[in-house]
Amino acid sequence: MDNKYTVGQYLVDRLLELKLEHLFSIAGDYSIDWVNNYVEPSHIQVIEEVNELNAGYAADGYARLRGIGALCVTYSAGALSAVNAIAGAYVEKVPVVLINGTPSIQRTLTFEQTGFSSHHFISGRETDLQVFEYITTAAVRIDSPDLAPMLIDYALTQCITEMRPVYIELLEDIVDLECDRPAKALKAARIFSNPQSLRQSIDQINERLENAAKPLIWIGVEIDRFGLREKAEDLLRQLKIPYVTELLSKAVLSEDDALFAGVFDGQSSAASVQELVTDSDFILALGVWLTDINALGWPTDFEHTAFVSLDTVKYGAYFSAQVSLADLIDGLLEKGVTRGTRYFSRPPVPEAPEGNLANPITYQGFYDFIPEFIGKDTIVGSDASMNYFGSLLLKVPTPRSFISQSSYSAIGYIGPAATGVCLAKESHQRVMIFAGDGGFQMTAQCLSTQTRFELNPIIFVIDNGIYGVEQWLADTAAFRGTKPFYKSCLLHRWNYSKLADVFGCQGWKVHTYGELKDAVLGALSNSNSPSIIQVVVPATSIPDNATWKKS
């Protein structure tokens, strides 16, 4: 019996240990032996993607639900196409493993010493590694079988500790060489708090919670990324005060919860949420990241808001470093402070329009219409577009059932991310995503992968013929009809529904609410392929909660 244990097997076993079940991959000669000889025979299913950018976005979407995602590409020509996806995962703390099949030591030395180049080379062994060092929490080059176990373990441990992407350069001639077997199970490294800083921060925040007349909790994305949902729920039950989320952390906890007041993203929030925030004399922001997307025209009140995130506490002039979010929540739970429930009014759930189903669809009308089709088994996703505004106010009842990349905000993310979400979700769940037409043009090949693997996301492409969010950010006058749209924001019009014929899935083009209803019902009954619904709206039509911006 052959007891040979190799570097290629070591990497597969460690990924399996971390519960990875799917690997997104693009065929490349420097990586193909590892994929064919080690991944394919394992319990990891290879998902053959159409390009590296889509593979990266799919791995990102997968990791948001599963806690780990991975893609395998080939050197430079492949890896550098995935840079934008890995950068987004780095910004948003998503644990993605990028495995880059790399030319052999012999090829590398020949190129460096003689100038004889192998395909994909740019400037030798450092090019890809140096690029990814800036956008990963660990970047390693596996060019020795003796060092391979240590380097792989280091990278993967960093991935699950920092919840950020890592880069593993796997040389083609190292894969089949023998190495030691795993010695012990991987586990995330401990996050240490400075005892004095932690104690002072707990006392400071506890005192404010006890003395505040109208406190509020602001739940941020770190609650999800670091697996703190149960601790956060325990604290909310103990405090008995309302909480809000942000677009990046929407539906981290159930939006059916009695204490949930709504999503707070500046002036795009519901009026009742804005009133609640304005009226609060102390806001405890747990794991919230400050971005222009969750400010949206709202001046942050640093004097009355304590931000606990990025291992620091910031409250007015008070600043304390090396304070773990988990440790601080534990400390507040131990203090045992309780409050009476503060009265607040929740934003009303909009009802479907009762007007004529023959009426043309508007952007806001679409978001008034769609909530009746979103239930407890629906995972909702939104792309960087005017859909951010409409989806912000949708009710998503089940925890961890909303996906957006609203901090990095790469247009085109959500279509291929839905591929990963479909593979990571529970079998009873259905994925429904909202894309702008400009963003969808960037990554439309996601339909190919989804059709190939019989995945069934429902993809709404809001077709207004423009890069709406870019125009909105630059100058909103065009939406009021007082100025023309910037030429750079005008799109070449596609017949998106006809892409279903190209890729072998199902598609609809809708102009009225009656057509929209028929299309949604048809998509819900389609279980074996993606459904693309092209929703035609006027170029000047935007969601109501985006109209506050006047310039």
Report the binding-site residues for Mg(2+). 437, 464
3 state DSSP class of 39: helix
CA pair distance 258, 243, nearest whole angstrom: 10
Q: Which residues contact 162 (CB under 8 A, 6 or more apart)?
A: 93, 137
- Return the C-alpha torsion angle 76, 78, 84, 87, nearest 10: -60
CA pair distance 399, 410, nearest whole angstrom: 24
CA pair distance 327, 314, nearest whole angstrom: 16
Residue numbers belonging to the annotated binding site = 437, 464
DSSP letters along 187-213, please? Answer: -PPP-PPPHHHHHHHHHHHHHHHHH-S
Maximum distance among all Cα pairs of the chain, rounded to whole angstroms: 78
DSSP 343: P
Q: How much helix, strand and coil, in percent to the nearest 5, is found in the chain?
A: 40, 20, 40
HSE, side-chain direction, 13 A CA sphere, residue 285:
29
Q: Pick the closest to residue 218 from 256, 164, 273 (CA basis).
A: 273
